[in-house]
Structure 1
Amino acid sequence: MNKRMNSKTGYLLIHGFGGNINEVAPLADFLKEGGYIVLCPVLKGHTGKRSDLSKYSYQDWILSVKNSYDELSISCEEIYMVGFSMGGLIALELSSQLSVNAIVTLNTPIYFWDFKNILLYIFHDIKNLKLNNTIRYIQSCTSFPIKSLINFRLLLFNTKRSLSNVKCPLLIIQSLKDDAVKAISANYIYEHVSSEDTNIKFYNESGHLILWSKAANNVIKDIYAFFEDVNTLDKYI
């Protein structure tokens, strides 16, 4: 991508449940190098502390992103959203209410915990005498407050009901080796949105943290190409 100032184009990158902005950092860095305005809001309560996460609801998480959207809309004529995991649910929910030029979802859950892939990763741990994945699964089951898990489910429930109101161009990206999100989630989103320009792209070379995987460079290129196509199309409408 050639460097240039794109002061009227803004990108809103949204991290996942229990995560942080590092999950979308590779894409943010790429876009900033191109001169784009990029905001990566930290969802309320996502400080890394269990006690902080439990203080906020899914409405607060949405508001975190809405505030950044409002900030972008002051100076940007075009706003694009990229949501990783639960961040994709927030992007879809907000796009059903606000003016968004296009969305990309990355490993966004409708159905979660792919036990086939989980077993494969645990087998990999046993084979290599390591417990990296196994420890991660245990932490995932014990580190999140029940209240926060309920709010995640409420966000998922409400977003599913709003999918038919999503009408902007949409690229759905899903890892086939994702252990946290079942790949059929991508198909569900594709089938229930009202966007006329909707695409799905699957990747074999990555797990859940797709922007930190071997496929990351290709994923970033595909995201940028999608937004460029949308931008070109908008100019002819």
Structure 2
Amino acid sequence: MGDKEKVGILLIHGFTGNLKTLSYLKTQFENSGFIIEMPSLSGHNTDYRDLDKVKFEDWLDDVETAFKRLKEKTGTIFVLGLSMGGALALHLQANFKDIKGVILVNHALTLKKSLKLFFVPILRHFVKFIYDPGSDIKDKSKTGLAYDYISLNALYEFMKLMKVIRSELANVTSPLLIFKSLEDHVIPYESVIITLKGVNSDEIILIHLKNSYHVATEDFDKEVIFNRSIEFIKTLLKEERWRIDLTQ
């Protein structure tokens, strides 16, 4: 039995990324008294070759299992997702209405258009991996946040996942806090537009990040993300009594 008076946050990392991309937020939220669940998505946090056999349904199962695990511990749950993790956060809220609010950081509902992406469904049968080192982050002191190779099979699964979640957007009804880096070299601003047009949330807050690239959760705006997230959560819980420090 968990403590139903506690508040939980489910943190979800992105495609080819790892748990280090959320380490700052995890520490800050835990220090503020939240119960944290942070799943390692299938094929991640090990070796890039492990992504080759993963299906997008595996990622859906990962986050649904983590959500149910967190629900056993807490009475109220928020979900925060980075990049593909943001898409998965939207999926959860579309399917589990007891999620209080969703926080999206450079969430992925589409990719930057290119001719190469058009050929991924075919090319993946001939090329398993492509070399794509480094993470899109402005703070160059941060390293090791993603695989150096991308599995084309996994990229194809990622593309299918985004299509599925775009079809679920009308079922998203909870308040949303959206962070979007003005300079993001991975996910286009179109993902924000798709979200704004597609969801049925009555409350949506959009915050532009001016000093971070794609992996903003570990970049120069990470404190902005944490502080505004705390404000968002505090506002949604202000009518209720919770045994948690939300004064930061």
Q: One fold, TM greater than 0.5?
A: yes
Q: Which amino acid aligns with 2:178?
A: I
From 228, 232, 244, the equivalent of 1:226 is 232
From 151, 154, 158, the equivalent of 2:157 is 151
Q: Specify whether residues 55 and 233 from structure 1 end up closer, same or farther in structure 2 by C-alpha distance, changes over 3 A only.
A: farther
2: CA distance, partners of 1:76 / 1:210: 27
Q: Which amino acid aligns with 2:204?
A: T
From 59, 63, 66, the equivalent of 1:65 is 63
The answer to whether structure 1 residue 40 and structure 2 residue 38 are counterparts is yes
1:6-25 equivalent positions in 2, closer than 5 A = 8-25=6-23
RMSD of aligned residue pairs (Cα, Å): 2.3
Q: Which amino acid aligns with 2:102?
A: I
- Is the contact made by 2:4 and 2:75 (CA closer than 8 Å) also made in structure 1? no
Which ranges of structure 1 fall in alignment gaps of 5 or more residues? 116-133
Encode CA deviations 1:57-90: one digit per residue, 9 max, x unaligned: 1111111111111111112110000000000000
The corresponding residue for 2:189 is: 183
**Higher normalized helix content (fraction of residues):** 1
Which ranges of structure 2 fall in alignment gaps of 5 or more residues? 115-131, 136-145, 242-248
Encode CA deviations 1:117-154: one digit per residue, 9 max, x unaligned: xxxxxxxxxxxxxxxxx9548xx998222210111011
1: CA distance, partners of 2:133 / 2:45: 21
From 197, 201, 206, the equivalent of 2:203 is 197
What TM-score comes out, normalization by structure 2 length? 0.79
Instruction: Report 1 or 2 for greater relative contact order, CA contacts < 8 Å, sequence distance ≥ 6.
Output: 2
2: CA distance, partners of 1:135 / 1:21: 17
What TM-score comes out, normalization by structure 1 length? 0.82
Runs of 4+ in 1 over 6 A off after TM superposition: none
Residue 219 of structure 1 and its aligned partner are, at CA, apart by 1.6
1: CA distance, partners of 2:240 / 2:56: 32
Count of aligned residue pairs for this structure pair: 211
- Is the contact made by 2:19 and 2:45 (CA closer than 8 Å) also made in structure 1? no
SS in 1 for 2:157: helix
The corresponding residue for 1:127 is: none
Q: Specify whether residues 56 and 234 from structure 1 end up closer, same or farther in structure 2 by C-alpha distance, changes over 3 A only.
A: farther
2: CA distance, partners of 1:66 / 1:169: 20
The corresponding residue for 1:52 is: 50
- Is the contact made by 2:43 and 2:51 (CA closer than 8 Å) also made in structure 1? yes
- Is the contact made by 2:178 and 2:205 (CA closer than 8 Å) also made in structure 1? yes
Identity %: 25
From 167, 175, 181, the equivalent of 2:173 is 167
Q: Which amino acid aligns with 1:100?
A: I
Q: Which amino acid aligns with 1:80?
A: F
The answer to whether structure 1 residue 104 and structure 2 residue 103 are counterparts is yes
Residue 220 of structure 1 and its aligned partner are, at CA, apart by 1.0
